[in-house]
Amino acid sequence: MPDQSTSAKLAPGAGTDPVDAISVRDVTRDYRRPRTSLRHPSPPVHALRGVSFAVPQGQRFGIVGESGCGKSTLLRILAGLDRPTSGSVAIDGRDITGLRERQLRFVRERLQLVFQDPMSSLDPRMRVGDIVGEPLVAQGHPNRRERVAELLEAVGLPTDVADRYPHQFSGGQRQRISIARALAPRPKIIVADEPVSALDVSVRAQVLNLIADLVDELSLTLVFVSHDLSVVRHVCDRVAVMHDGQIVETGPTEQVYEEPQHPYTRRLIAAVPTLGKALSGVSAADLNREYRP
Partner 1 sequence: MTPVPDTAPASAQDSPDDVLAVRNLEVAVGGRKLVEDVDFTIRAGERVGLIGESGSGKSLTALSIMGLLPEDLRTTGSVRLAGVDHDLVGADETRMSRVRGKEIAMVFQEPMTALNPTMRVGRQIAEVLLIHRTRPDRASARAAAVELLAQVGLPDPEAAAHAYPHQFSGGQRQRVVLAIALANDPALLVCDEPTTALDVTVQARVLDLIVRGVEDRRSAMLFITHDLAVVATVCERVMVMYGGRVVESGPVREVFTRPRHRYTQGLIGASDLSVVDDRGRLITIGGSVPPAGHFPAGCVFRNRCDSASESCATRPDWRPTGPDSGYACFHPVPENGAHRTGVPMNQEAGRA
**Binding positions for partner 1, rule: CB under 8 A:** 66-67, 156-158, 170-173, 200-206, 208-210, 212-213, 227-231, 233-234, 267-268, 270-275, 277-279, 282-285, 287-288
- Closest to partner 1 by CB, 18 or 276: 276
Query: What is the rounded CA–CA span in Å between residue 112 and residue 1?
Result: 33
Sequence-separated (6 or more) residues with CB below 8 Å from residue 172: 199, 200, 203, 206, 207
User: From start to end of the chain, where are the E strands?
Assistant: 22-31, 45-55, 60-64, 86-91, 94-95, 111-114, 189-193, 221-226, 238-243, 246-252
Instruction: Report, in Å, the least distance between residue 32 CB and partner 1.
Output: 20
Instruction: Report, in Å, the least distance between residue 285 CB and partner 1.
Output: 5
- Closest to partner 1 by CB, 11 or 279: 279
Comparing C-alpha atoms, which of 243, 253, 249, 270 is closest to residue 261?
A: 249
201 alpha carbon, distance to own chain's centre: 19
Instruction: Report, in Å, the least distance between residue 60 CB and partner 1.
Output: 13
- Closest to partner 1 by CB, 87 or 156: 156
Comparing C-alpha atoms, which of 40, 11, 22, 12 is closest to residue 240?
A: 22
- Closest to partner 1 by CB, 37 or 67: 67
291, 270 Cβ separation under 8 angstroms: yes
- Closest to partner 1 by CB, 30 or 286: 286
Comparing C-alpha atoms, which of 111, 80, 87, 91 is closest to residue 20?
A: 91
Instruction: Report, in Å, the least distance between residue 245 CB and partner 1.
Output: 16
Inter-axis angle of helices 144-154 and 171-183, nearest 10: 130
- Which string of DSSP letters, residue by residue, matches 17-29? --S-SEEEEEEEE
Query: What is the rounded CA–CA span in Å between residue 199 and residue 222?
Result: 20
Instruction: Report, in Å, the least distance between residue 70 CB and partner 1.
Output: 14
Instruction: Report, in Å, the least distance between residue 193 CB and partner 1.
Output: 15
Query: What is the rounded CA–CA span in Å between residue 15 and residue 138?
Result: 29
Instruction: Report, in Å, the least distance between residue 211 CB and partner 1.
Output: 11
- Closest to partner 1 by CB, 131 or 236: 236
- Closest to partner 1 by CB, 81 or 278: 278
